[in-house]
Amino acid sequence: MSQPPANPPGSRFVDDYLLYLLARASHLISAEFHDQLRRRGISVPVWRVLASLVGSSGETVTGLAETCLLQQPTMTKLLDRMVRDGFVKRTQDAKDRRVVRVALTTRGEVTAADLVQAAKQHEAEVMARHPEAEALAIKTLLRAIIARQTRPRRG
Amino acid sequence: MSQPPANPPGSRFVDDYLLYLLARASHLISAEFHDQLRRRGISVPVWRVLASLVGSSGETVTGLAETCLLQQPTMTKLLDRMVRDGFVKRTQDAKDRRVVRVALTTRGEVTAADLVQAAKQHEAEVMARHPEAEALAIKTLLRAIIARQTRPRRG
DNA sequence: AGGCGATGAATGCATTTTCATGCTAATCGG
DNA sequence: CCGATTAGCATGAAAATGCATTCATCGCCT
């Protein structure tokens, strides 16, 4: 464990800062699932793209970037790699020739389907672990989530 | 605006996925404040370190990394830059010579104080804009936040 | 005391991300 | 229909990040 600081606990600015609580809760909960991705050799951005393309017949690069919380040039390069690795394919849009439509390949669909199932199961576990997630005020609730996520690695 | 996909809206997997809703809500709300940081020439990781060090007499590198949601080597390199830019200073821990204590310089304190004030004001605006943030179920609530954050840039 | 695993921080290299910019296609105004 | 503007995507150099590893110190245990 890391040596806690000389700062009285609970007094830090960040611990009462909504944006930080959101980021931290998101980070902590996601970290669990990211471990699963890691074991399968899938990076987080790749997973986000796969998840975004499930059930779609073709998304734009910019649209994907926004969905995946990435910038457009980052998405372009990520898609380069995903095309190279056989997860997605690019096609020209029929109506607007500036637009590139991105869709899953067969391999991409298989991988995405597997991961989505794992994600749903993980989500169910998370919801089961945080029953108040359906009823409590967000800040209090996120704080509780953070506390529970932080310490008890085993249930 | 990006041409919405050929996918029926509201049907995407990610739009009902807790981890995505958390990440997206966090990203969207934070993006507002990150704009303010940008105008002042402060990067997000630097802001996080500054905010983490306010009121502290010295945090460890590993502790800061965890607080700032970064990995330890990333934090080491970030601190290199922040030392170079005069925001923080490193000192040896008295008891444990492995430990490096990181603290704000005077410049760091001034910058941090300014930013913390801006952050608090922004947080108040966010809370005012999302009154249910104190009473609603998280998923429904986050979804509402996302919807409101996404479209209406002006209130 | 002395060896040993564990902890804290730093480093090096490969990969990824960012920022600014360029290019092509579509749209708008006259 | 033409010129100007905007939207969508790609690119290139610089910066940041991730990952594995290394180095130093500490705590423990006999």
For A19-64, write each residue's pLDDT tens digit: 887 888 888 888 889 989 999 999 999 999 999 999 999 999 999 9
Higher pLDDT, A80 or B138: A80
**What pLDDT is stored for residue B155 in this prediction?**
27
Q: Which tokens hold the place of B104?
A: 């704000």
Q: If we measure between CA atoms, which residue out of A138, A89, A39, A68 comes closest to residue B17?
A: A68
Alpha-carbon distance of B27 to B154, in angstroms, equals: 18
d(CA A31, CA A44): 10
Per residue in B111-135, is it b (16+ CB within 10 Å) or e — as a string?
A: bbeebbeebeebbeebeeebeebee
What whole-number distance in Å separates Cα of residue A117 and Cα of residue A133? 21
Give how far A101 is from chain B: nearest CA, Å.
Answer: 9
Binned at pLDDT 50, 70 and 90, residue B4 comes out as very low
Q: Which nucleotide is nearest to A78 (CA to C1')?
A: C16
Task: Count the Cβ atoms, other than its own, within 10 Å of residue B15.
Answer: 15
User: Is the sign of the CA dihedral B9, B12, B18, B22 positive or negative?
Assistant: negative
Domains detected in chain A:
13-150 (1.10.10.10)
Single-letter amino acid code for the residue at B93: D
Confidence of residue A6 (pLDDT cuts 50, 70, 90): very low
Closest CA to A54 of A9, A17, A104: A104
Beta strands in A2-155 (DSSP E): 59-60, 88-92, 100-104
Three-state DSSP class for B92? strand
Residue B96: list chain A partners with CB under 8 A. Answer: 3
Query: Within its chain, how far is the Cα of A110 from the centroid?
Result: 19
Query: How far is the CA of B14 from the CAs of A90, A123, B20, B23, in angstroms?
Result: 21, 12, 6, 11
Q: So what's the pLDDT on residue B126?
A: 79
**Least confident range of A52-56, B41-45, B136-140:** B136-140
Q: For residue B34, what is the nearest residue in chain A, using CA coordinates?
A: A19
- pLDDT at site B132: 60
pLDDT for the residue numbered A134: 58
DSSP single-letter state for residue B155: -
Residue carrying structure tokens 């947080």: B123
Position of tokens 């603290």? B103
pLDDT in the model for residue A91: 96
Query: Measured between alpha carbons, how far apart are the two ends of chain B, in Å?
Result: 19
In chain B, % of residues over pLDDT 70: 77
How many angstroms separate the CA atoms of B127 and A33, rounded?
Answer: 29
Which of A18, A34, A53 is most worth mutating to test chain B (most B CB atoms within 10 A of its CB)?
A18
Q: Tell me the pLDDT band of B149, cut-offs 50, 70 and 90.
A: very low
Tell whether the model's pLDDT for residue B63 goes beyond 90.
yes
Mean pLDDT over each residue of chain B, to the nearest integer: 82
Return the closest-CA partner of residue B64 out of B81, B91, B46: B46
Calpha distance B100→A17 (Å, rounded) = 26
Q: Are the beta carbons of B123 and A17 separated by less than 8 Å? A: yes
State phi, psi for A125 to the nearest 5 degrees.
-65, -45
Distance B22 CA to C12 C1' (A): 35
- The pLDDT assigned to B25 comes to 81
B23 vs B86 pLDDT, higher one: B86
Q: Which amino acid, residue A137?
A: A
What mean pLDDT is reported for chain A? 81
How many Å lie between the alpha carbon of B15 and the closest alpha carbon of chain A?
9
Give A140→chain B minimum CA distance, Å: 8
Strand D footprint, Cβ within 7 Å: A 38, 60-63, 72-73, 76-77, 79-80, 90, 96, 98-100; B 1-3, 43, 45, 70-71, 73-74, 77-78, 81, 95-98
Give me the CA A4–C1' D25 separation in Å, rounded.
18
What tens digit of pLDDT does each residue of A113-137 get? Answer: 999 999 999 988 877 777 666 544 4
For nucleotide D23, the protein residue with its alpha carbon nearest to C1' is: B98
Provide the strand spans (E) within chain B. Answer: 59-60, 88-92, 100-104
Rama region for A140: left / alpha / beta (φ>0; ψ in -120 to 50; rest): alpha
A114: CB partners within 8 A, 6+ apart: none
Please name the residue whose C-alpha is nearest to the C1' of nucleotide D26.
Answer: B96
Q: What is the pLDDT of residues A59-94, one digit of tens each?
A: 999 999 999 999 999 999 999 999 999 999 999 998
Cβ–Cβ below 8 Å for A55 and B126:
no
Which residue in the set A11, A26, A99 is minimally distant from B22, CB to CB?
A26
- Separation between the CA of A94 and the C1’ of D1 (whole angstroms): 24
